[in-house]
Amino acid sequence: MHENEIKLKAIAALTALRADVGEGLASELLAEVTPGHFLVPAGADPEEVGGAVLDQLSEPLSALVNGFIAAFAAVAYAYDETGAEPGTDAILQELALRLAREDGQQSP
């Protein structure tokens, strides 16, 4: 699967989630972009097997993340162009603070 195809799948997943299609879509998306099998060197030790698998996963997962980033950037730019308040930066900052508070509450 090519990088742009994977990016398109990420954008489609975001669109479907916004349309309330279902949360299982993210799992399906990961299954579609993850290789169905991995090639590893014959006689490889566990570290070599892990490295080979990671190498083969990195490209599709990177494309998937880049698709989410591209989608977010386009929406954030369009939102900020409306002049709405709070702006994207303030929304992200509030989200980060909320997640940090939640993480702090879950720590022993």
Q: Are 59 and 35 in contact (CB under 8 A)?
A: no
Structure tokens at 67: 């698709």
The one-digit pLDDT tens for each residue of the chain (108 residues) are 788 888 888 888 888 777 777 667 777 877 888 888 999 999 999 999 999 999 999 998 899 899 999 999 999 999 999 999 999 999 999 999 999 999 888 766
| Angstrom distances, CA of residue 87 to CA of 23, 65, 95, 99, 107 | 27, 23, 12, 19, 31
Q: Give the model's pLDDT for residue 9.
A: 85
Q: How far apart are CA 86 and CA 80, in angstroms?
A: 9
pTM summary value: 0.74
